Structure 1
């Protein structure tokens, strides 16, 4: 009577990653499809009865046909049942990614759950109750029909939905397409498989978000996972195994430079040096450094940018504090030293509107000097 399935969601195939330019962004887009292949192989290896995709398989209904075809190819290692639920990014509109998929001709093992009707199979062991979205934001609860849905006697009831669980999601979550926190109990579900929140999370009794299988943002929310779910019967407690499948690791680092050196920044980057090519990093710098250390920092960051998959640097909170050694290195006398002294005086006066420009000018002079230009 047992039922084993893989729960995943929020693939968002075709996500543009506009903030990651060039090859790095293209590789992030390609990896999302490659990770689907990893999921398919995992499903085959673990012998699941089905893969349930709880919405937002695609980033929009406007993805290119070649993206759809590449995604369908990635599913092939698992020949069992795939059930796709339209979410808010890929809602079941009259003309949608789902209507285009049907026109392409679907394999028999792929089910598009775009109607609120029970999905049966598995020799009567289980029934999936889908709550598809037909627009980006639904005003009515798409899971309400679960409560009265007729299913075979003794079948395990599994809900499949996409949205925000009322009163439960963290305050930073976007509250849309609301789902009651008691839906699993009122509908007699053994498990409610959800999408929309991008991290793995048990949000209410028998109610789980699987999160996105390929991390796509700098947020500590247990992403890059899928769930292998075992249900031993309609009333048995769910057994959920979280399995890592993501390739890229996203990190948000902050470094406070308090001793006039850039050492804290370099130590923060060194802490994630292992498998650097898989890491997407956001580094925020604050504090003050000498001109010599600022020059060293620029050289080191340039090296790290080549080693990481992508490194984004926010140094708006970083300022230069020229030392006497810095100024002596620029010039010991004459007109240049006079200009340097004036810039230093301007840079050290926070009330001076030209302070920021003076700091930039000092830095540029130092870089030119060190470069021999």
Structure 2
């Protein structure tokens, strides 16, 4: 009587990653389809009954045909049933990615759950109750029909929905497409498979978000997983196994340079990032450095930029604090030396509104002299 399936959601195939330019962004886009292929192989290896995808399979209804076809190719390793639920990014509009997919021709094992009707099979062991979104934001609860849905006696009832569970998600979460927190109880569900929240999370009894299988943002919310679920029968507790699937790791790091040296940056990155080539890093720097240390920091950051998949640097909290040694190392004299002294005085005067500009000017002079061989 056991029913075993894989719960996943929020693939967002076609996500542009506009803030990650060039080849790095292209690799992030391609990896989302490669991760789908890994999910298919996992489902096949575990000999599961189905894969339930709880919405936002695609990033929008405007993705290219090529993206749709490549996604369909990625599914082929698993010949069991795929249940695709339209979410808020790929809602089941009159003309959508789903209507285009049907026109392309899809395999019989691919079910587009764009209507609120039960999906049966599996020798009567289970019934899937889908709640597709037919617009980006639904004002009414799309899971309400679960409560009165008729199913074969003894069949497991599994809900499939996309949205925010009322009273459970953080206040920053999108509140549209709301789902009652007790829906699994009122609809007598063995499991409610949800999408929309990008981290793996048991949000209420028998109610789970799987999160996105390929991490796509700097947030510590346990993303990058799928859930393998086993239901032994009506009333039996669910067994849920979390399986890691993400190729890329995303890190949000802060480095405070409190000793006036650049050493903390490499130490932090070396400790936090185990596989640099697969790491997307947002690094915020604070503190102060001499011009000589800032020059060394720039060189270290350039090395890390070449090692990491992508580095997003925020240096607004970092201040250059020129020392006497910095200025003495510049091979200058006369009025140039006098100008540098005045720049340093302005840079160190917190009441001077042009202090930031003076610090930038000092750094530019130092770097220019260093690159031209004018530093002793």
Q: Normalising by structure 1, what TM-score?
A: 0.99
Which residue of structure 2 aligns with residue 100 of structure 1? 100
User: Aligned-pair distance for 1:167?
Assistant: 0.1
User: Structure 2: any 5+ residue segments left out of the alignment?
Assistant: none
Q: Deviation string for 1:145-179 (max 9, x for gaps)? A: 00000000000000000000000012221111000
**C-alpha displacement at 1:355, in angstroms?**
0.9
Cross-structure match for 2:292: 292
Quick one: distance in 1 between partners of 2:90 and 2:264?
43
Q: 1:146 matched to which residue of 2?
A: 146
Instruction: Determine helix, strand or coil for the equivalent of 1:202.
Output: strand
What is the distance in 2 between the residues matched to 1:199 and 1:42?
Answer: 20
Q: What residue is the counterpart of 1:163 in the other structure? A: 163
Aligned to 1:129: 129
User: 1:18 aligns to what?
Assistant: 18
Alignment-derived partner of residue 226 in structure 1:
226
Residues 169-206 of structure 1 deviation map (CA, whole Å, 9 limit, x = unaligned): 12221111000000000000000000000000000000
Q: CA deviation at 1:272?
A: 3.2
How far is 1:227 from its partner?
Answer: 0.2
Q: Who is 1:39 aligned against? A: 39
Q: Which SS does the other structure have where 1:260 is aligned?
A: coil
Mapped partners of 2:123, 2:368: distance in 1:
75
Q: Deviations 1:216-260 (Å, cap 9, x if unpaired)?
A: 000000000000000001111100000001100000000111111
Post-superposition CA distance 1:324-344 (Å, at most 9, x none): 111101136322211110000
Distance 1:253 1:263 in 2: 15
Whole-angstrom CA distance in 2 between matches of 1:121 and 1:92: 23
CA distance in 2, matches of 1:331, 1:165: 66
Distance 2:320 2:108 in 1: 64
- Write the mapping of 1:198-347 to structure 2, written as runs, cut at 5 A: 198-331=198-331, 333-347=333-347
**1:369 offset after TM fit, Å?**
1.6
Distance in structure 2 (CA, Å) of the matches to 1:59 and 1:286: 35
For residue 362 of structure 1, what is the aligned residue in structure 2?
Answer: 362
Structure 1 runs not aligned, ≥5 long: none
Question: SS at the partner of 2:95?
Answer: coil
1:262 is displaced (CA, Å) by 1.6
Q: CA deviation at 1:356?
A: 1.0
C-alpha offsets along residues 343-373 of structure 1, whole Å, 9 cap, x if unaligned? 0011111221211111111101111121126
> What is the CA–CA distance in structure 2 between the aligned matches of 1:369 and 1:28, rounded to whole Å?
39
- What TM-score do you get using the length of structure 2 for normalisation? 0.98
CA offsets, 1:61-118, max 9 Å, x none? Answer: 0000000000000000000000000000000000000000000011000000000000
Question: Is 1:111 aligned to residue 98 of structure 2?
Answer: no
Match of 1:73 in 2: 73
- The 2-side partners of 1:192 and 1:317 are apart by 45
**Once the 2 structures are TM-superposed, how far is the Cα of residue 273 of structure 1 from its aligned partner?**
4.2
Q: Post-superposition, which runs of at least 4 consecutive aligned residues in structure 1 deviate over 2 A?
A: none
For 1:163-202, list aligned pairs within 5 A: 163-202=163-202
* SS across alignment from 1:367: helix
SS at match of 2:160: strand
SS of equivalent residue, structure 1 residue 325: helix
- Distance in 1 (CA, whole Å) between partners of 2:71 and 2:273 is 32
Query: What is the CA deviation profile of residues 265-293 of structure 1, one whole-angstrom value per residue up to 9, with x for unaligned ones?
Result: 22111113431100000000011111011
